[in-house]
Amino acid sequence: MPITIASIKQQLDSKIGENLTVVAQAGRKKVTRRKGTLKETYPAIFVVDLDQDENAFERVSYSYADLLTKSIQITFDDEVKAS
């Protein structure tokens, strides 16, 4: 991932509408993995619409700082298929 918040936002802007997987630290040794679609980007956050089959709620938002500090990791489906 890029090293500035502005470059992270710019990269995510080009991926709106694509499917992704978000892996978030949920505690000491807990990790949550959610699949969804990148819906919108805002100046400080981005919104992911979650797959309703796997999750109890519709959408979740994260800040660009979460990516910068590696609190979360995102992987787009097209990146997985390419490797």
Res. 83 pLDDT band, cuts 50 70 90? very low
For residue 29 the two structure tokens come to: 């040794």
Domain layout of the chain by residue ranges: 5-82
CA–CA separation, 38 and 45 (whole Å): 11
CA–CA separation, 33 and 36 (whole Å): 10
pLDDT tens per residue, range 28-69 = 889 999 999 999 999 999 999 998 887 778 999 999 999 999
The yes or no reply on domain 5-82 and CATH 2.30.30.100 is yes
CA–CA separation, 29 and 54 (whole Å): 21
pLDDT tens per residue, range 10-20 = 999 999 999 99
DSSP tag of 58: S
Pairing between β-strand 72-76 and β-strand 19-25 as defined by DSSP bridges: antiparallel
CA–CA separation, 4 and 45 (whole Å): 14
